[in-house]
Amino acid sequence: MASDRIWGNPKKQVVLLDTNAIMMMFEFHVNIDDELTRLLGSYHIYVPERVLKELKTLSSLGKGKQKRLAKASLQLASIYEVYTGFSDLDGDDAVIAAAEESSGIVVTNDRELRKRLREKHIPSIFLRGKHHLMLE
């Protein structure tokens, strides 16, 4: 893996973060970078444009803990590259469309979204035991 940092790796896996995946980093104190390195080795994280819109809405209209988590998540999401497009779709549909287009893996804890991803044969990563991620 050290050679990846020096020479680059053209086969980096695309990873897309769902809204609750970003928020779980703060809620459960999960270091997503360490966990993704453990699972995938080389990867590149994207945040779909629609997920950023959801976080902005939650950070302004949410209440209590949800609002605080959304504000922190919005700041964290700014360090990742934005996956543009599909902003006219709702959150889950936009994430699925981006994953299909990029052949990416989706990080989410949303059961309904995970079920839809399975039906479309799109791999997902979810939180297991409140402290580590699992690839499905």
Encode pLDDT of 79-100 as tens digits.
999 999 887 888 899 999 999 9
Q: How far apart are CA 56 and CA 83, in angstroms?
A: 16
Domains of the chain with CATH codes: 2-135 (3.40.50.1010)
What does the pLDDT read at residue 86? 86
Give CA–CA dist 128/117, Å, rounded.
Answer: 17
Q: What's the pTM value of the predicted model, to 2 decimals?
A: 0.87
**Averaged pLDDT for residues 61-82:** 91
Q: Partners of 48 in the beta sheet?
A: 83
Residue 10 DSSP one-character state: T
Query: Which is it for the CA torsion 8, 106, 89, 73, positive or negative?
Result: negative
Query: In this structure, are residues 9 and 98 in contact, taking their beta carbons and an 8 Å threshold?
Result: no
